[in-house]
Structures are given as structure tokens and as C-alpha cells.
Structure 1
């Protein structure tokens, strides 16, 4: 008897695609909307997890695009400390779609935020929209403004010239100014400034609000760079804290569900926008939690390596050499216990090994959210 499920591929059936599949072999990508050449400029932005993508792309030979570079005479260690190269520009974590949209608008002269500098307890000043980008802060508010102007010029150049933009949606919760709606990566008073109930408010963005923000951003991006393709991902990292009066697990589930819906809607609505399922690869219960560190929050190197292996399987253009070291990322990963041992061995094998870098833990990942936990403690 004929039925509409007759003849559809195995990957559309749970039992065939999941129950009978070893988790390390999981590949949920069934099609992509475009390919990436090794010469394509690839820019990244988003939440903490986006930094794993940035590092991995750079380590395996893609053209990771970083227009905001340190001065030539700045030592490498100091450049790293000051967050050069963490993302394509030094914008810090862009956790929400509203932050991304407002950054774009400011870079192209379409908005000027009211709050321009926050004072720290030590008397130094920080940029409210990237408060931890300069560990030592700034001596004056004028220095903050000058640094931001230079930063925005790089952001503008990035959006105008990149070939691919990878954005990781991270949070729905945030803090904003009541005066102009500007959204901050951290609540005032955490890394600078002072919380004022009359000037600041908590917001938990809805599906509709985030989808509208992403649609507005996409149309704006198309106006300045029609050739730019976009890959959207959702961060698999749970919320470090919620301001909603409920359990953090419930807020995490809400947040990630909303962001996943938005990513789906935007990828369906715009040509040359793909959703890459790193969220599903990391969080599926088929892994039994093996892709998380002991805190059940940070993604470990095994999870990052699995996600990037799938990315490399599907996105590089066929008629080109594979990115450096791409062949070294195994097509199938060992079982979790074996992989952990292999990761430990890779870590001892020597610096500069891109595979070892993929398997490394979350050390050095810059996450503004962490400041919330530290100040609570």
C-alpha cells in the first residue's frame, strides 16, 4: 500500500539515522546551500562558542578574515591578552541578535548610543559594548571613544568585504538602556559602570523580536555586500545564569529553542544563508554528555572536533586542495574513552598541531558571561 514515507532517505527515520548509528559517526548535514573556497574571506562573530569555530577555521587552513590587527610591534602574547584575533574584529561576545544589529548600524553611522563609557572601580574606563576587550581599561572617556571609532571602521570594512559571515546565536536574555534601547553584553555594574533601575532594564527577547532583528540585519548586510554568504549556528553552551525567576535549566531550554527556531526561519527566508547544526551535534543525548567538560557547560575538544569534521566534509569547494591538516581530522572519531586518551596524547605531541588544537579544552576562550559568575561569588 502506497504511503508518503515510502522511499524517503534513511536519514529521515530516527531508528535508521540515530538508533543504529554510533554517535561519533553522526552527520546530520544532508545538504548545503553553497561551498567555501580556501581563498574566501571567512569572518566570525557571536557567543563564546563562536571562538571555537574561529580557532578551528584558522588552524585548518581556511582564510580566517581578521581586519582588526594589532600594531606590528605589539608582542604576540600582549595581542592575545588584548583580544586581537579572538573574532574578526574586537567586538567581544555578541550574544544576541540585537547586539549584532546595533553594531552594524553604529558601524555604518545609523545610530549613536547614549552611554559611551563606563567607569570601573579602579577609576579606569571601559567600552560598555565590549567592556572586557581591553583588560587594563582606558585612562579617559576620550580614549574609549577614539578606540571605538577605530574599531567601528574595521567592523565596517569586514561587513563590506567578507565572503562568508558565520554568526553564532547565543542568548535571548540581556540588559539594555531605557534611554535608547542599546543592548550590553553584560549588565551594568558587572565589568564597569553602575546599574541604575531608572536607566537600565532586563530583557528576554522573543522569537518574533529576534527574527525581526535578524531580518533587518540580513537586508542591511545585503545592501553593503551582496555576495556575502551567511552560516548561522546556535551555541550549545548553556546559560551561566538566568535573571528570570526560575531554574537556569528551564531558561536555557527556552533560550536555545527560540534561537534554533529563528535560525531555521532566517535560513529558509534568505538565499545563501545556511544553518549548520553544531548545536545538535554537541547536545544530542546520543553522546551521553561526552562532549561537555565536567561542569556540564563548556564544550570539550572532542565536540568541537566532531562539529568541524562535519563542516569540512560538506563545505569546502570540491575542485580545490583540502585546507591544511583537514585530512588529518579523522573521518570517524574513536569512542569517547579512546578519544579522550588520544586527545591527551595529541596535546603532548607538540605545539602547532591543528588536530591537537581541535581536541584541546576551552582554555583561553573569552566569555564575558563568566564575569557574572565571578561577581556573584
Structure 2
């Protein structure tokens, strides 16, 4: 038999051997990957799904880096509701690479957005770049600015002391200021501020833009932390809503495809940068939808547990703890209380886009 390049490839290179009939528990990682030590300081940022990664890293005994913490007298539930511990710093959801790049620039005084304060519906003060981070909003602009200054100091601390940065790319769609391109995590008017089509513009990032922004961010990060290593993932959570004019399903597929392609290119081009296939584990055909809740959007705990099991197997040579058993059904509760409980468990700014009707 004639020899050819496919003759000696491992099983992972063939669909029939690696995917067909394997069921949901496929491990799609092949080739070199990050090696993670227990003492490595791991920072996280990104979309809602990144919160699950942070939670499992901490529960598995790894050195999950948190630079911005609540005052010791604040009860844990209240601290979590205020965004403490969900990510390394209290920046809330960072959905786009443009947001991430601008966070660095704002933290180091390289970018001062013109539109940097919003008014809440009740007259409170909202930070446009962390619109849901303070329950009820800030009492005054002075309080907000003082909190922001402290926050950006802790962002700098995170960037300068982390060993590994895990960033979960979530969206291509977003809204920016027409004045200077400042990127907001939510459309103005949803969680504060007032939408003005003369002042605000819709952006749907393209693959080339995302790749360039990732490269620019890594260059900036390594200018203050030369040894920083990066892991890029793509959130499997579909869009809650789209302003693209398309149906939300193809809009979601475009968004994830663009993010996935850019992440792959970045991982191939940038040293000490890896792509981890959490998106493929949850959404691939082998999962047959088993890792999504009934709304076909939220990822189940079983799905998150499998993602983290694969991650820790390859990064640290261990298996993640088994997913906890499902709790007994709780008594029915008021819809408002249930919504608040879900919001605290995984703070997701984007979900607010579908609360108007």
C-alpha cells in the first residue's frame, strides 16, 4: 500500500474514530497544550461562560487570582451579587475583544472615553463600562469615580501579576460611542444611560478586527508582564438578541464562527497562546444538545463539568471533580425571586436585552 500523509495519523485526526459513536464525552484536545501548575496565578475574563471556568478552577484547588475583593464585613451572597469574585477583577462581562483592549488602555491611562457616566432610571449613577456591577447603581458620581479608580488599579495588579490569562470570547456584536469608539458591554438605555442614534453606533466585529485586537491586547499585556501565557476559548452560549437585522440563529452562528476563526489564528501566531475547545465540546454534534438547558442557551452543570474535566486533564494531568448531584426540587418561588437568584448565580449582562417583552 502506498504511503501518504494520512496513513500514520493518530485516531484524533479521524471523525469515525474520534467522534462517531463516542457520545457526548468526546475529548477534542490534541497536540501541545498549556501546562498548569498549582501555584500558577490564573486570571479570567470574558463572557458569562467564563464565570463557570473561574468557579471550577477555584473548586479544583488551583491558584485562581482575584485582585479585587469585597470588604470583609460584606456577606458572601451580597459580594457575589456585586460582582466580586466572578472574575479576577470586578469588571463584569467583557463580551468583545474591543472591550478587552480598551479595558487595558483605560487601566493604564491611554484611553479616557468621552461618555463615561450614565444615569440610572431611578436617578442613580451607572458606570457605562460596568453597568450591572453595583446593585441599585452608585449614589453619586464621586462614589462611582472613586470605585472605578480602585477597580482600574486592581485591573493593573491583575495584568502585572497573573501567570495565565483565560479569556472567553463571547460576542461580535456591540455598541460604541460615535465620539471616540468607546465600547459598551450593553446598549445604552438597557441598564442605564439613554440611547441616542446620533451618539451611539452598532458594531459587528469581523474576524480580521478580532484577530488584530487580540494581537494588540497580548502585546500590551506582555509589555507589563512578559511571561504571561494565554488560553482563548469561545463561549458556547448563543446570543440573547441581535441588532444585526438577521434572525438570531444565523447571527449567532456568524458571531461564533468569527470568534472561533480569530482565536485559532491568534493561538497559531502568538507564542504561549493556546485555544481550548469549550465551544466544540458543548455545541458539537456529538453532544446532541445534551449540554444545553431547555432554553437551548444556558449550559448545564454537566456540560460545564465535562468542559473543565477535559481542560484539567490536559493542562494539569488530573480529572476535575464530578459534577454535584442535582438538588431536590425546591418549593415554587415568586418569579421575581427566581430571576434574581439566577442572575446572582451567573451574572450575564446580555440577558437584559430580552427582558423588555
Pair in the same fold by TM > 0.5: yes
For 1:153 and 1:143, the matched residues in 2 are separated by: 16
Residue 11 of structure 1 corresponds to 12
C-alpha separation between the residues in 2 aligned to 1:226 and 1:237?
Answer: 32
The CA deviation at 1:23 is 2.6
Structure 1 residue aligned with 2:332: none
Please name the residue that 2:352 is paired with.
Answer: 371
Give 1:309 deviation, angstroms: 0.5
Partner of 1:356: none
Q: Which residue of 2 aligns with 1:353?
A: none
Q: Which runs of 4+ in 1 moved over 3 A?
A: 326-330
Structure 2 counterpart SS, 1:315 = helix
Equivalences for residues 260-275 of structure 1 within 5 A: 260-275=260-275
Who is 2:98 aligned against? 98
Matched, 1:329 2:310: no
Is the 1:131–1:192 Cα contact (8 Å) retained in structure 2? yes
Question: Structure 1 residues 90-99 or 110-119, which shifts more?
Answer: 110-119
Task: State which drifts further: 362-371 or 145-154.
Answer: 362-371
Q: Which residue of 2 aligns with 1:337?
A: none
Q: Equivalent residue for 2:246?
A: 246
Shift of 1:343: 3.1
Q: 2:295 maps to which residue?
A: 295
Deviations 1:266-303 (Å, cap 9, x if unpaired)?
A: 00111110100011000011111110000000000111
C-alpha contact (below 8 Å) 2:42/2:164 kept by paired residues: yes
Q: Does 1:180 align with 2:180?
A: yes
Is the aligned partner of 1:57 residue 2:57?
yes
Q: Secondary structure of 2:150's partner?
A: helix
Q: What is residue 336 of structure 2 aligned with on the other side?
A: none
Once the 2 structures are TM-superposed, how far is the Cα of residue 77 of structure 1 from its aligned partner?
2.2
Residue 77 of structure 1: aligned partner: 77
TM-score by length of 2: 0.93
Deviates more, 1:76-85 or 1:263-272: 76-85
Deviations 1:148-206 (A, max 9, x none): 11100000000000011000000000000000100000000000000011110101011
CA distance in 2, matches of 1:10, 1:362: 42
- Indicate conservation of the 8 Å contact 2:309/2:320, yes or no: no
Equivalent residue, structure 1, for 2:48: 48
Per mean C-alpha deviation after superposition, the further-off stretch among 158-167 and 28-37 is 28-37
Instruction: Kindly indicate whether residue 145 of structure 2 is the aligned counterpart of residue 152 of structure 1.
Output: no
Correspondences of 1:186-205 after superposition (within 5 Å): 186-205=186-205
Any stretches of 5+ residues in structure 2 without a counterpart?
A: 329-341
| CA RMSD of superposed structures (Å) | 1.5
8 A Cα contact 1:38 1:62, kept in partner: yes
Checking the alignment, whether the CA contact within 8 Å between 1:177 and 1:183 is kept in structure 2 is yes
List gaps (5 residues or longer) in structure 1: 331-341, 349-360
Deviations 1:93-118 (A, max 9, x none): 00000000000011111111111210
Verify: 1:218 aligned to 2:218, yes or no.
Answer: yes
Deviates more, 1:100-109 or 1:76-85: 76-85
Alpha-carbon contact 1:167-1:230 (below 8 Å) kept: yes
Bigger mean CA deviation after superposition, 287-296 or 14-23: 14-23
Q: What is the TM-score normalised by the length of structure 1?
A: 0.88
Contact 1:301 1:362 in 2 (8 A): no
**C-alpha distance in 1, partners of 2:51/2:206?**
25
Q: Displacement of 1:31 after TM fit?
A: 2.5
- The offset of 1:20, in angstroms, is 3.7
How big is the shift at 1:8? 1.0
Question: How many angstroms does 1:4 deviate by?
Answer: 2.0
Relative distance call for 1:212 and 1:182 in structure 2 (3 A) is same
Contact 1:93 1:368 in 2 (8 A): yes
Q: Is the 8 A contact 1:32 1:315 kept in 2?
A: no
- Residue 369 of structure 1 aligns to a residue whose secondary structure is helix
